[in-house]
Amino acid sequence: MTEPRQWTLAHGRTLELGGEALIMGILNVTPDSFSDGGRLLSVESAVSAARIMAAEGASIIDVGGESTRPGAEPVSAIEEQRRVLPVIEALAGEDGFVLSIDTYRSETAELAVRAGAHIVNDIFGVQRDPAVATVAANAGAGLILMHTGRGRQKLPDVIADQFFYLRKSIEIAHQAGNRDEQIVLDPGFGFAKEWHEDIEIMARFGELRGLGFPLLVGTSRKRFIGRITEREVGDRDTATAATSTLLRLKGASVFRVHNVAANRDALRIADATLAAER
């Protein structure tokens, strides 16, 4: 169990990490995301979905405009921005929302923060476009650095590769001027990983606390869950909640999920157990 700490975000916001699990609701405004593509293509439908997730217990809404599933067609920065910026602007105009932009492009990150986003969530851990780190530093935004194996040769040991990649991301973030209080790490479940590697990361998750930063996990409906349960994408929420419980007990602080209500209930059980242990 990690000690509670404040996560510093843009626009003067903060969130407490560690004391209770925080849920990040996934808001994909894309036609082709692996689980919910095409469901939220209008600003109105996206805002409505965000309101529901917040009511169910999401502390953060993560807005994404490009599918990051394996084999997805990349979109241009202009198209990504056309999808996400109106949604962020609309949600920023309502009280209470903490907003994250899911992007690896510095231009999109900067425009999203200007529009009201508090957090930048980069699936390449600022290694594809290091200027993302500069955007976060200049805005004082929260910065999620995710591990990925895409486009490179991984080390044989899954945890050694996590340390190798994420330490480089942390170094880039620090060089750009980001403070430790802004940074959260994500082991990147499912991103260029075989299903058995995802399981090993779960089994050895406690070792990642040695990096010294709060940890976010995104197991929701991932392929490794389907491989184990033999269930299709839309029927993996119960198993996702099981992974959330397990990873909470091993030290994760933030949980990026599609089904907020199911994970909220599971995480309340985990938090009650941790509280009793304390």
Name the pLDDT band for 33 (thresholds 50, 70, 90): very low
In this predicted model, what pLDDT tens digit does every residue of 158-180 receive, in sequence order?
999 999 999 999 999 999 999 99
Calculate mean pLDDT across residues 255-277. 97
pLDDT band at 74 (very low <50, low <70, confident <90, very high): confident
pLDDT at 40 over 70: no
Residue 161: count other Cβ atoms within 10 Å of its Cβ. 20
SS3 124: coil
What is the mean predicted confidence (pLDDT) over 185-193? 97
Residue listed under structure tokens 């009280």:
95
Instruction: Report the CATH architecture of 5-277.
Output: Alpha-Beta Barrel (3.20)
pLDDT digits (tens, 9 = 90+) for 117-131: 999 999 999 999 999
Q: Nearest to residue 112, comparing CAs of 131, 134, 139, 137?
A: 139
Confidence at residue 108, expressed as pLDDT on a 0 to 100 scale: 98
The full set of domain ranges for the chain reads 5-277
Global pTM value: 0.94
Stretch 70-91: mean pLDDT: 90
Residue numbers annotated as active site: 222, 256
Say if residue 39's pLDDT is above 80.
no
Averaged over 5-13, what is the pLDDT? Answer: 97
Rounded Cα gap, residues 171 and 238, in angstroms: 37
Token pair of 104, please?
A: 């690896």
Radius of gyration from C-alpha coordinates of the chain: 17
**What is the average pLDDT score of the chain?**
94
